[in-house]
Chains A and B, each alone.
Chain A
Amino acid sequence: MDGSYLFQGYGASVRVDAPADITLADLRNQVAPELSTEKCADGPSDLHLTRWNGEYHLIHGERRYGPYRTLHNALRGLSNGIHFMIGNRSPLTFLHAGAVEIDGWAVVFPGRSRWGKSTLVSSLVDQGCGYLSDEYAVVSLEGSVFPLSKPIRIRIGEEGAVDVNHVGASAPGGFRCAAVILTRYEDGATWEPQPLTPGQAALETLSSALQSRDEPDQVLHAVAALVGNAGCYQGPRGCGEPTAAMIRSLLEVENLSREARA
């Protein structure tokens, strides 16, 4: 018999049905700790993870995802679906972005899948930055950044991957954004970020927002607030770049120019 679970956070909730061999602990391990996870009474579900012929399938309305041949991959697929639905239902803006905390400020890396966000974020966290997000940065209308610190999945080659757990940084009112950096990994590139105007950065970042189509007003104002007081940069990066030290240098330059403007 399936179990029913409720995931809640950031003003949104998602109900899930999952096979009996999946435990509450299995689910909690795959979902950002900022979302509460609990068993609930049976009822209409948003996502249904089911198993037959030894494979798992994820069903959302009339859409079917999978098959997943391992429980771990099925849980990852379910986790992606939960975070995506929470993001679409939340009154906060969810950006496809990595994000870390440095010296009490958020640094956000908007970007599409396979831009290397997870690798970059994981590397920065290993160097002492606080972990906020490797997939969705949560942004308030005031431009503050909140964590969604689910386990980071690092791709290894074309097929392999490994999950890395980091404790998410948190602050009651979120973190103000110091920098928005649009960067993707390119083999052999050197990180020489070029400044973007706030308008350019907003245009680039808007395409990363989950709710652009359904909540355009909310997204536009959240992104404008995010980039409005941040230093904005763009440029490819090579292996291992940028480091935490490089970003700190960038933020120091940004602070100096901000003080000069003031």
Chain B
Amino acid sequence: MANARFPNGGIPLEIEVVASPRQISCELADEAVILNLEDGVYYGLNPVASRVWELVQEPRTVREIRDSLLSEYDIEESTCTQDLLDLLGQLQRWKLIELRDGNGSSPL
């Protein structure tokens, strides 16, 4: 599903991503469980998605997250980028992350 703000289908690599303050989460072995405090829905993340979740606890650009994953996992860059964008799109639809423009201050 294309992002409404980024109709060409991807979140730009220079956009900053950070976990929403309206959630709480818990690590479980190498997984994570997240509760969206707005709607009371719980979500589960697999180990790789949990690593992304760990990274977005601090504001980071999509490119920084992608590069971290490339250094940690044996994966093609194009596959990594697409999988990451898919995941971030899902997390945004679940309202678990916020996207910020270049100066890091304006939620998109």
Contacts and interface: CB of A to CB of B under 8 A. Distances in A.
Interface string B20-43: 000011111101110101001010
A216 B44 contact: no
B41 to A, nearest CB: 10
Contact of B44 (A202, A212, A228): A202
Instruction: Name the interface size band of chain B.
Output: 10 to 19
Nearest to A228: B28
A199 B32 contact: yes
A33 B29 CA distance: 36
A198 B40 CA distance: 20
A199 to B, nearest CB: 3
Interface in A158-211: 197-200, 202-203, 206-207
Given A203-B33, A224-B33, A217 B24 contact: yes
B45 interface: yes
Contacts of B29: 197-199, 228
Instruction: Name the interface size band of chain A.
Output: 10 to 19
A16 to B, nearest CB: 30
**Which one of A206, A220, A228 has the highest number of Cβ atoms from chain B below 10 Å of its Cβ?**
A220
A197 B31 contact: yes
Contacts of B27: 224
A25 to B, nearest CB: 41
Interface in B37-82: 37, 40, 42, 44-46
B28 A202 contact: yes
A100 to B, nearest CB: 24
Given A199-B33, A206-B33, A216-B35, A221 B26 contact: yes
A59 interface: no
A126 to B, nearest CB: 34
A217 B35 CA distance: 9
A217 B23 CA distance: 9
12 contacts: A197-B31, A199-B45, A200-B44, A202-B28, A203-B44, A206-B33, A207-B42, A212-B40, A220-B25, A224-B28, A228-B28, A228-B29
